[in-house]
Chain A
Amino acid sequence: MEVTLNVKRFDPEKPKNNTWIQEYVMDIHQSSTVLDALIHVREEMDGTLALRCACRASICGSCGMKVNGEAKLVCKTRVEELSPNGEKLLIEPMGNQPVIKDLIVDLSAFFAKMEQISPFLQPNKEPESGEFIASNDSMEKLLTEMNCIMCGLCVSECTVLEVDNTFIGPAALAKASRFVYDPRDDKTSERLNCLNDEAGGMWDCTRCMQCVEVCPKGVSPMDRIMDLRETAIEIGAKKTHGYHHTNSFEKSVTANGRLDESRLALESAGIFNIFRLLDLVPVGLRALIRGKLPPFIPHKAKDNKKIKELAKAIKEKE
């Protein structure tokens, strides 16, 4: 079948016009992946095209790039699926990371963040029997986290990293959860306290789910971040704005059955944090004038007592 790839090129050695879109038209086998097509370009058409790949079977995580704007492993993406009627495919490098050449991005920040979470087991003492034994059960629970192949697709699409590259990011946080929930690791609270920090830590995630959507191995980084948050609250990590936000949300829903935005805003900022409260005032005042500010007397769901009872029942069961 015929396929047309529009590849975003970048050559840092060119003095000017170093970014352009190049079109490649070729004949490929029906079952070809986008990677097959790109390798075809590199080998048969244009040796100057640079791309990373290795295993071609979605285990090595080298060939992450954007296809029609969505981050994918191109070895796991079949041409026919995206271009059933010969539609052109747009191939670009991953996002949120500097481009070195063509489809190759610089992953140093990615790996630096991985290092930041100390991606190795840290037991407090020597094993009694010569080795640390982990139960099958405990390892099975970690299968999702351990599936990560560090391809960087989640980082490419992260909406927080788009505006703030100090955010530690979905991949490193998911990796952190792999160690937090490993029974052989004894640094749970140190790890969580560190990631609980105000700047760049776990609370900066907006829960936009881009990472969940693009992860080719079902790691669901955002869900791992939610696990970390839950555990951070449980172990009583430092009370950050994120903590107050979640806590206030729970209180509001269990008390009234509904969300109370004004209370959420006040409590997230911290009732005693005068400066942050003042910060919310200008918008609040304008909203009040326009009749927009949520009612100060919270709106309640009818039968809100039932929700309170449910919350109580769940607490008792635990």
Chain B
Amino acid sequence: MKYAFYPGCVARGGTPELLSSSMAVLKELDIEVEELTKAGCTGAGVLQEKNPLLGDTINVRTLAMAEEKNLSIMTLCSTCQGVLSQANHKVKKDSKYLAKINDLLKEEGYEYKGTTEVKHLLWILVEDYGLDKLESHFTTKLSNLKFAPFYGCYMVRPSEALGFDEKPERKMYLEKVIESVGAEAIEFPGKFSCCGFPVLFINQKNSLKMVSNNTGSAKDLGADAMVTPCPLCHLNLDGYQGKARSNNRGDKADLPIIHMPQMIALAMGLEKKDIGLGRHIVSAKEVVNKI
């Protein structure tokens, strides 16, 4: 198995532990990746507000890079997954628009034909690798732990661009993976809600309320930690949990926010330094102790 690897800006920046844990898991599973080092940021939907054509062009360029290698793209981030999928969906539907973009890319020698698939590691594990096979790599069962799933908006919306019509079960993958490591996936009503990150720098009050509501209610429902396939959700839910909870609920940050690959790495019993739980702001010690 081989993928064109698109780690995204945050795994290469604010959450290095996501990258190290993902690489360790991929190595264990013998999944080969070739990083698209020349690829640009997806624009995260923000660039698209000001300059949608530039955003789409950068993304189609990335899709074309993978197409050239005849590989599907692997992402590690809900936002990257969503924005790349949206661009892919848009140009597949609109051949005129694709031609316009291809014209811009011509000089660099790219021409996208529309064949690249974009898949988050979560989807790859369930759809391509298989949970049975994944489970054979686990050395520890995380059966003492209860996890709240938190998908991140762009992994579930807009469903049209994410292929949910053909694969509606994609809305349940995170729970499936949580259960495969032996843990309990709690029924968490906020699993598809917004973490608040996009307005963190614009309306911090609202952003922090979202962090507080999400982490507080998961805690109230008995979660030991929250598991997310999105590093941007992680940044906000982890980094700002302390302030959010004291401002809004008058309590303390008590819910570790675990990257999905970290959870898998824990079940595989991989190296502590690769898993990188020590890099979190909200301590994940309790989670480790319970294993």
Contacts and interface: CB of A to CB of B under 8 A. Distances in A.
Interface of A: 69, 159-160, 162-164, 167, 198, 203-210, 212-213, 226, 229-230, 233, 240-242, 245-247, 249-250, 252-254, 257-261, 264-265, 268-269, 279, 282-283, 286-287, 290-295, 299, 301-304, 306-307, 309-311, 313-314
B287 interface: no
B280 A290 contact: yes
Given A206-B194, A229-B49, A253-B47, A306 B201 contact: no
B198 to A, nearest CB: 5
A207 B279 contact: no
B187 to A, nearest CB: 11
B261 interface: no
Nearest to B37: A302
B248 to A, nearest CB: 9
B159 A213 contact: yes
A306 B14 contact: no
Contacts, number: 184
Given A160-B206, A301-B39, A314-B53, A261 B14 contact: yes
A253 B206 contact: no
Given A207-B198, A283-B243, A230 B38 contact: no
Chain A contact surface mostly: helix
B13 A259 contact: yes
11 contacts: A204-B206, A206-B196, A207-B46, A230-B49, A252-B41, A253-B58, A258-B41, A259-B13, A264-B201, A282-B243, A292-B15
B13 A295 contact: yes
A203 B125 CA distance: 36
Contact of B201 (A159, A268, A295): A268
A188 to B, nearest CB: 18
A310 B61 contact: yes
Contacts of A291: 16, 279
Contacts of A160: 194, 199, 206
A213 B198 contact: no
Given A260-B9, A269-B201, 8 more contacts: A206-B197, A206-B207, A241-B203, A254-B54, A259-B10, A260-B13, A287-B239, A292-B239
B45 to A, nearest CB: 5
B53 A301 contact: no
B158 interface: yes
Nearest to B204: A279
Interface of B: 9-10, 12-16, 37-41, 43-54, 57-58, 61, 104-105, 107-108, 153-154, 157-159, 189, 193-194, 196-199, 201-207, 209-210, 213, 235, 239-240, 242-243, 278-281
Nearest to B159: A213
Contacts of A258: 9, 12-13, 40-41
A204 B199 contact: yes
A295 to B, nearest CB: 7
B209 A302 contact: no
A306 B38 CA distance: 9
Contacts of B61: 306, 310
Given A159-B193, A159-B210, A163-B209, A310 B39 contact: no
A209 B153 contact: yes
Contacts of A229: 49-50
A209 B157 contact: yes
A210 B154 CA distance: 10
A124 B203 CA distance: 34
B279 A292 contact: yes
Given A203-B202, A279-B204, A304 B40 contact: yes
Contacts of B153: 206-210
A261 B202 contact: no
Which 9 residue pairs are nearest across A and B when measured between Cβ atoms?
A: A268-B201, A163-B209, A209-B157, A208-B194, A159-B194, A259-B9, A257-B40, A294-B13, A249-B46
